Copies of this chain bind each other. A is one copy, B any other.
Amino acid sequence: MTDLMVQERQAEILRRLKQDGRVLSASLAAEFRISEDTIRRDLRDMANAGLCERVYGGALPVSRGATTLSQRMGVASERKKALAATASTLIPPRCTVYFDAGSTNLAIAEAVHEDLVVTAVTNSPAIALVLTEKPLVEVILIGGSLDRVVGGAVGARAIEAMSVIRPDICFIGTCGIDVDGGLSAFRLEDAAFKQYIAARSRRVIVAATREKFDAAAPYAVAAAGQYHCLVTEPGVDPHRLAPLREAGCEIIEAGLQEGRKTGRDQNND
């Protein structure tokens, strides 16, 4: 182990912490060929900076217990992750893509590949936060009054902020898909905002898990002919997809290799 400077050493400790899930003062001292006192000072500093949790004998990652946010943002179900993985491949490089607020679109944002260079626009703080972690994504945040049911900004200010942006592609969230293939939302302002976005976008994509076909919401967003592509799961009743196909909407079923319909899947939205 070559001599390291303080910052390098602490970075290495942090790396091991992530990799192994823990570090021991004694082992670290032996590996770095320095005294345990110095290691203890390092760990104390790092804990003070919120980079690890200090315990007797070494340190643990902070993610133990109090990771408020990852819990709060809720890990997407495996089904939703598979759907999101497929949907994220529809984003061409170097385009401008809009992510509507919603847990499905959050999953798509998470699935964006690290190497993808795009300009991303969103009205959702949670999605913005996830996209900030992708080094090659430029993030544009649409501001306005936050609707906590929607999880994003809607209303006049948000529409005005969008008026200067014309996305190449947009992912619109939906609360339900009716028998004619129309989309709906729970909130009036949200529905209006979605309509505005869809009208401005060159290509409108809707990603929806299969239980959206069983749900209804009061405010209409778009009819079957008004969006270009639906990404969904296998196992949706073909009669429900037929009107969409007739309206010229491309249907993509994610993860076709498996995915039996058991009827017992729980809605994770």
Residues of A within 8 A of B (CB): 5-8, 11, 22, 41, 44-45, 47-51, 53, 55-58, 60, 62, 64, 66-77, 79-80, 123, 125-126, 128-129, 132-133, 138-146, 148, 151, 153, 157-158, 161, 264-266, 268
Majority secondary structure, A binding face = mixed
Q: Which of B5, B143, B268 contacts A142 (CB under 8 A)?
A: B143
Number of copies: 2
Q: Which 3 A-B pairs have the closest CB atoms?
A: A143-B143, A125-B125, A50-B74
A132 and B157 contacting across the interface, CB-CB below 8 Å: no
Given the known interface contacts A129-B129, A132-B69, A146-B132, the answer about A75 and B62 at a Cβ–Cβ threshold of 8 Å is yes
Of A11, A64, A139, A146, chain B has the most CB atoms within 10 Å of the CB of A146
Known: A66-B75, A145-B138, A157-B161. A49 touches B125 (CB 8 A): no
Closest Cβ–Cβ distance, residue A115 to chain B (whole Å): 17
Nearest chain B residue, comparing its CB with the CB of A6? B56
- Contact between chains at B73 and A69 (CB < 8 Å): yes
Residue of A60, A64, A128 ringed by the most chain B CB atoms within 10 A = A128
Contacts of A139 in B (CB 8 A): 145-146, 148
In the complex, chain B residues whose CB is within 8 Å of the CB of A64: 7, 11
Q: How far is the CB of A18 from chain B (nearest CB, A)?
A: 10
Inter-subunit contact A133/B70 (CB<8 Å): yes
Residues of B within 8 A of A138 (CB): 145-146
A158 CA to B157 CA, complexed, in Å: 12
Report the bound CA distance from A142 to B161 in whole Å: 10
A128 in contact with B146 given A74-B51, A75-B62, A268-B50 (CB within 8 Å): yes
B146 & A140 in contact (Cβ 8 Å cutoff): yes
A146 touches B141 (CB 8 A): yes
Nearest B residue to A69, CB-CB: B132
